Chains A and B, each alone.
Chain A
């Protein structure tokens, strides 16, 4: 191993912003044909390191070597020329353009030898080449003529990977590539990673999901506080060791589940149906109980809870809360009926990015600060300060825009927003998506504390571990129908994964 020349080697990379050091001296070597996982909590310096390597940021100190040669990467252009590609979480494709056009953005093929802005494009050749890469090299079936906005997210990601392959990148960074993927799509991605490795590419895989790291990566590098604190063959690594390295202390259990004795029934959903999206959904929620809803993408799980909150139409069925029939046809009605809803897409559906933390805290329960003389800003300040203290939200100032907080702290502000309305039913979609391990545990703790006040929680998630880790009962949705309601004690993770995927338990005949 030591004989090999690393594809890329970094020595003593340092970088700070406004005098605050983010990277404090990183050393690492990456070799051809391997997949390395780079992990760390948010703020550990992962994205800064990537951005330095691909040229978006310039390092303050340290050296970068490619195949043993010292390189000076000062712009994204440089990074691209040296064969470094990044597949970002938020893809950088143009939705209104076609797949093949996206593959060749700014490196279009021309009919003439010379290229130039005004030379005629060789569309046929671009389509052929796109097909060759996507169909033959990556082995994915994507219509190269389709507009990117019309193809599913997983395929868009493949297009982006195809673009990196087309550019003949040696090193491909994948920044949380599985966040929005289904199991089947993840499998495809993992196969592609394997193929790329076989083609001697180097993959740097960033993920919060430890099982994916164990499945795909030969080596793991853990960043914490700007240092690489651990580097090890993944095969010799335990999960505990990893988590400990990430957060710097031992964590026995990141699901702080408290199994309360469930109280009386607080909500009944009976035969709720909405066209083809979901049919005859029935379940109950009791006080001090977390009901989990799980299912594959497109199974209708999000639409079901949105229907309960008045954010999605339903045609028939009834919702009974505290023994009374309610409709919840509009969001306002649902809020008045003491429902609260925290959507999965924090960025696009939860936060008011340019507005203050205090604003974001009080917006749903704004009547708490409304007085005869108009809005009371001092009351708002008081309420916000209370939540910042009680929920341990890390802010420098309650007037700072919420977009400047980390994902975990943003989510806590959103929790505060709805706690203020004192809901009886708290509905959460993917409550810990994109937030780090520490913050995850804190969010679960807050949910548990809330539950203790005789409340009910409905939690929708596509992660079996989370559902099993936090819910008392689990509603499994398959193709818009309930396939089972399971007590958490009656199933293990493998069983839950099977039933989620296939809609029935394995011993009943698998697929």
Chain B
């Protein structure tokens, strides 16, 4: 048989093509309409601001791939960021020890979510909605609403503000995490198991996959990534504020979904979700440059998400 060439339609129907096109169109539009968008400085700003949502959207891709969800991650960012700040400031702990402990706290929180979801069989939407409240609440309880200020520790500031060569450290961190988790998702038995569970959980059990253990591990990964994002956020602002990370969970879910990953589980577009995260920051950045009132930012982001999804829907229609 003759090998058929890829048509434009085939290209358009690649998962996440919607977000790609939205991104390119947006960049061209902003580059034409503003002088400051397409400058090295501004691009770096956009990328830096994408870091936090980008990191947790990696974890969210894993969670959604198994068919679950994690709404608590925004609170986890705030909580772990606060823990890290408190250990350094209030307990004068060694910076590196504090950072390692923070990662550990993230892992424990992830494990907690996993216990609710895979041991106690509570629907993940509800379980993580509850833990979202709990951890946000604990931030208020500990800080009494007063931010932890003045984290002037050079080693700590370095992870968010430092450079290696011309590359900012947080972007290097994202790149490393992306490479690691891309490999884990697409080139390991573990990644296969994650997606297999999402595709058909009953069949997954019958091919010998330990569903409980895989789900637990995915939530632990998510918790650790949340802690990394939490520390980067705290180190960036040199303070732990009570609302830190609030709303990031929905941004991450949106980033995953506009990349063409189905909420039903069983597939994943890891690179696409990072692009999704950058897209959302780009919109905010563009609106800022265009001096659009910040109240409108949410509206515009919502509309762009809807447009990207409608595009994907149309591009995939013929494949049914």
Contacts and interface: CB of A to CB of B under 8 A. Distances in A.
Could you say which of B205, B208, B266 has the most chain A C-beta atoms within 10 Å of its C-beta? B208
Contact of A352 (B186, B187, B203): B203
Given A335-B208, A366-B192, A350 B266 contact: no
Contacts of A352: 196, 199-200, 203-204, 266
A8 B190 CA distance: 56
A364 B200 contact: no
Contacts of A373: 187
Interface stretch (A115-123, A210-218, A341-349, A467-475): A341-349
Nearest to A345: B202
A417 interface: yes
B291 interface: no
B192 A375 contact: yes
Contacts of A341: 206
A164 B188 CA distance: 51
Interface in A18-38: none
Nearest to A414: B203
Contacts of A354: 199, 262, 266-267
Contact of A375 (B188, B200, B203, B210): B188
Interface string A285-302: 000000000000000000
Interface residues on A, range: 20 to 34
A7 interface: no
Contacts of B208: 331-332, 334-335, 364
Interface in A351-388: 351-355, 359, 363-364, 366-367, 370, 373-375
A164 B298 CA distance: 49
A373 B266 CA distance: 23
Contact of B192 (A309, A311, A331, A363): A363
B205 A331 contact: yes
B183 interface: yes
Contact of B207 (A353, A364, A375): A364
B205 A355 contact: no
Given A355-B195, A375-B189, A349 B203 contact: yes
B207 A311 contact: no
Given A354-B266, A366-B192, A370-B189, A348 B210 contact: no
A367 B192 CA distance: 12
A311 B208 CA distance: 10
Contacts of A417: 207
A144 B262 CA distance: 38
Contacts of A359: 192, 196
B206 A349 contact: yes
Interface string A192-204: 0000000000000
How would you classify the secondary structure of chain B's contact residues: helix, strand, loop or mixed?
helix
B207 A363 contact: yes
A15 B106 CA distance: 58
Contacts of A331: 205-208
Nearest to A396: B1
B206 A311 contact: yes
Nearest to A376: B187
Contact of B187 (A355, A363, A375): A375
Contacts of B189: 366-367, 370, 375
Contacts of B188: 374-375
Contact of B266 (A332, A348, A355, A367): A355
Nearest to A366: B189
A373 B192 CA distance: 15
Contact of A374 (B183, B210, B267): B183
B205 A351 contact: no
A129 B38 CA distance: 71
A336 B195 CA distance: 22
Interface string B159-196: 00000000000000000000000010011110010011
Nearest to B266: A354
A460 to B, nearest CB: 15
A450 to B, nearest CB: 18
Given A335-B208, A363-B192, A364-B208, A355 B199 contact: yes
A404 to B, nearest CB: 10
A349 B207 contact: no
Could you say which of B189, B200, B262 has the most chain A C-beta atoms within 10 Å of its C-beta? B200
Nearest to B262: A354
Nearest to B202: A349
B169 to A, nearest CB: 28
Nearest to A374: B187
Contacts of A355: 195-196, 199, 266-267
A82 B130 CA distance: 51
Interface string B103-131: 00000000000000000000000000000
B145 to A, nearest CB: 44
A343 B199 CA distance: 17
A353 B199 contact: yes
Contacts of B195: 355
* The 5 A-B residue pairs with the shortest CB-CB distance in the complex, in nearest-first order: A374-B187, A352-B199, A364-B207, A332-B208, A335-B208
28 contacts: A311-B206, A331-B206, A332-B208, A334-B208, A335-B208, A343-B206, A349-B200, A349-B203, A349-B206, A352-B200, A352-B203, A353-B266, A354-B199, A354-B262, A354-B266, A355-B195, A355-B199, A355-B266, A359-B192, A363-B196, A366-B189, A367-B189, A373-B187, A374-B188, A375-B187, A375-B188, A375-B189, A375-B192
Given A354-B199, A359-B192, 11 more contacts: A331-B206, A335-B207, A335-B208, A341-B206, A352-B200, A353-B266, A355-B267, A363-B196, A366-B189, A374-B188, A417-B207
Interface of B: 183, 186-189, 192, 195-196, 199-200, 202-208, 210, 262, 266-267
